Amino acid sequence: MILLAPSILSADFSRLGEEVSAVEAAGAQYLHIDVMDGHFVPNISFGAPVMKSIRKMSQMVFDVHLMISDPLRYIDDFAAAGADIITFHIGCSSDIDETLDKIKSHNIKCGLAVNPDIPAERLFPYRDKIDMALIMSVFAGFGGQSYIDGVNAKIQAARTFFGPDFDIEVDGGINLTNKTVPIANGANVLVAGTAIFGAQSPKEAVCSFLNETEIDN
């Protein structure tokens, strides 16, 4: 089964509650929450207080993507704000094992991410500790970039290594035209920001993603 994770990075923040309700009503299972600090990536988005506000009105799985230098420092805040999954990047300054343990101490799922220039193999030593691998199909930092086809082999390598029952999320540049590409290479969780919240009707965009992915599978 394919899981869809609309990224609120591309939502209209003046109507964030309505935007979240629309994608939830359309059947999106995850809500992807892109946190950027202007240091690990050259862009700033929002933090735990924004997530806490929308937590009150949504039952979706809150899939937090931390693009920040020192994720360990903020795990408690995002857990308290209602995260269900917290993913951070290989290459951040926190100790990876310590950060994974911290996430687990809150009884929530954890993931590890790799940017396009980092091999999937860097995730492999953490197999027994992580619940999800996030393969970036753009360089983390901005919505609206184009899917990098060079990551397809990495998605395949991750699927081969982690096996059929493991969550492999792909993030960046995915739209209704190319969504079959990450799926065909082994992804089962798709992030889409611009293709959903940039559409005239985010609700219809979610339905199209989900209907067509059902057909594909």
Bind-site residues: 7, 32, 34, 65, 141-144, 171-173, 193-194
Strand 85-89: give its sheet, edge to edge. Answer: 3-6, 189-192, 167-171, 132-136, 109-114, 85-89, 61-67, 30-36
Kindly tell me the sign of the dihedral angle through the C-alpha atoms of 146, 150, 156, 158: negative
**Residue in the shown chain whose Cβ atom is closest to Fe ion:** 65
Q: Per CB under 6 A, does 4 bind ligand 5SP?
A: no
Q: Per CB under 6 A, does 34 bind ligand 5SP?
A: yes
Binding Fe ion (rule: CB under 5 A), the pick from 171, 174, 183, 192 is: 171
Region 85-144 residues binding ligand 5SP, contact defined as CB under 6 A: 138, 140-144
Binding Fe ion (rule: CB under 5 A), the pick from 65, 102, 109, 179 is: 65
- Give how many residues touch ligand 5SP by CB under 6 A: 23
Give me the residue label for tokens 């609700």.
203
Q: Per CB under 6 A, does 10 bind ligand 5SP?
A: yes
Q: In the complex, which residues of this chain contact ligand 5SP (CB under 6 A)?
A: 7, 9-10, 32, 34, 65, 67, 138, 140-145, 171-174, 191-195
